[in-house]
Amino acid sequence: MRILILGGDGYLGWPTAMYLSRRGHTVAALDNFSKRRWEKELRVAPLEPVLPLHERAQLWTKVTGREIRTLQVDLCDYPAVEEVMREFSPEAIVHYGEQPSAPFSMIDQRRTVLTQNNNITGTLNILWALRKHAPECHLVKLGTMGEYGTPNIDIEEGFIEIEHNGRKDVVPYPKQPGSFYHLSKVHDSHNILFACRAWKLRSTDLNQGIVYGIETDETAHAEGLGTSFHYDEIFGTALNRFCVQAVAGIPLTVYGKGKQKRGFLNIRDTLRCIELALLHPPEAGEYRVFNQFTEIFSILELAELVKRQGEKLGFTVEIQRLQNPRVEAEEHYYNARHQKLVDLGLRPNLLSDVLIDSMLVRIRERAGRIRTESILPRVCWDHVRPSSENPQGDGARDGRRVATRAKADAVPAGRA
């Protein structure tokens, strides 16, 4: 299959490109490298240095004999998107090519607008280019479980049957996303659903849980094939961050009560889910949604798992509750369906002590690179802390308190 990976330089995009290449598909990895620019802007960095995409692709060819084509394209540049569709003529697209961070989208007006314009325009451009140049192509779009929010009823996979005043209908599941980033994904979903109906395109929308893990079979293939592993406030996610905190000897930071429940999955399962979606494409005109996660944990449960494993390895691990920088329910019902990928053949890699153990060991090897100052939350949903670019900030209703708190918690890097 000719598969185009959008966001091919990212945490999941690059491992997906290798995974599919290894299984014999013709793969192109496209990126505009804006996330690398945002990292510099916000003074955060992945735990391990990440080689440029084209170098990783060369290395991949060297060690496997297989080719991954790389393309530098901005999805907001419509003529360039059209050219890719015409030239590469993909049978499937895996679309990770978006600004991926909730805190990033909440920093200021500019990042809110950037996030939504970038994500929405990119996806609209893909839809128009598909319609014109590749209407049979299967668009696999990455969304997030965060689109649903935390309703007091079971979360279904994309659609729900409602009985209301004696009549019934199956309608899109109501979404209650919790940041301008999550909102951008909800907007995408609505746009894609419409395009499938109006233009007979076909798409799988994957509402993905929080991904953890640092390694796949392919990243482990050779030094230099690693992916972009973040633990910072902006691009890091819960479990990955906790493992880094445990190694760095700073408290695991749980936001609020920590009773927020979320769906999680191993990075290896992400790749398998993508493959399963690709191998079982929808019909023309069909828009379908899979909830892509394997287990539900509360944030506190995760922190406790990491603490237990960390202590076995000899780290001193504390759990600290921070005032929640997000606006979200801290105690809530959470039961989300995730059956469709299992029905297609997913056999989950469940979170095990072994996995956490191996993550901690790997992170320990890179402990010298941990920048603890980038971990504590400075972006607050309902007020803005002075950013590093703009130390005085503006509209920082509550900046001082947060700054003070962050300072009090900070621990010198490399203490582990």
Active site residues: 144, 181, 185
Q: Does residue 160 belong to the site contacting a copy of itself (CB under 8 A)?
A: yes
Cβ atoms 252, 246 nearer than 8 A: yes
**In the set 318, 382, 389, 398, which binds a copy of itself (CB under 8 A)?**
382
Q: Does residue 339 belong to the site contacting a copy of itself (CB under 8 A)?
A: no
Phi, psi of 139 (to 5 degrees): -90, 110
Q: Give dist(CA 228, CA 14) in Å, integer.
A: 9
**In the set 26, 58, 64, 121, which binds a copy of itself (CB under 8 A)?**
121
Residue placing its CB nearer to a copy of itself in the complex, 40 or 164: 164
Residue placing its CB nearer to a copy of itself in the complex, 87 or 382: 382
Please name the amino acid found at residue 199: W
**In the set 12, 47, 92, 186, which binds a copy of itself (CB under 8 A)?**
186
**In the set 175, 307, 364, 378, which binds a copy of itself (CB under 8 A)?**
175
Residue placing its CB nearer to a copy of itself in the complex, 106 or 376: 106
Q: Does residue 112 belong to the site contacting a copy of itself (CB under 8 A)?
A: yes
**In the set 49, 62, 89, 153, which binds a copy of itself (CB under 8 A)?**
153
Stretch (H or E) spanning 128: helix 109-133
3-state secondary structure of 79: helix
How is residue 121 annotated by DSSP?
A: H
Considering only 191-199, 243-251, 343-351, 368-376, which stretch makes contact with a copy of itself by CB under 8 A? 191-199
Token pair recorded at residue 187 = 């907007």
Residue placing its CB nearer to a copy of itself in the complex, 13 or 177: 177
Q: Residue written as tokens 């990119």?
A: 122
Provide the minimum distance between the beta carbon of 304 and a copy of itself in the complex, in angstroms, as a whole number. 28
Phi-psi map region of 288: left, alpha, beta (phi>0 left; psi -120 to 50 alpha): beta
Q: Does residue 284 belong to the site contacting a copy of itself (CB under 8 A)?
A: no
Q: Does residue 165 belong to the site contacting a copy of itself (CB under 8 A)?
A: yes
Q: Give dist(CA 54, CA 250) in Å, integer.
A: 36
Residue placing its CB nearer to a copy of itself in the complex, 347 or 394: 394
Indicate the pairing of strand 261-266 with strand 167-172.
unpaired
Residues 6 or more apart whose Cβ sits within 8 Å of residue 164: none
- CA-to-CA separations, 131 to 13, 82, 105, 137, in angstroms, rounded: 24, 10, 30, 9
Q: Give dist(CA 117, CA 103) in Å, integer.
A: 16
Considering only 165-173, 222-230, 243-251, 345-353, which stretch makes contact with a copy of itself by CB under 8 A? 165-173
Q: Which among 178, 38, 190, 40 has a CA at the least distance from the CA of 110?
A: 38
Q: Does residue 392 belong to the site contacting a copy of itself (CB under 8 A)?
A: no
Q: Which residues bind a copy of itself (CB under 8 A)?
A: 78, 108-110, 112-113, 116-117, 120-121, 124-125, 128-129, 131-132, 151-154, 160, 162-165, 167-169, 171-180, 183, 186-187, 190-191, 193-194, 197-200, 327, 333, 381-382, 394-395
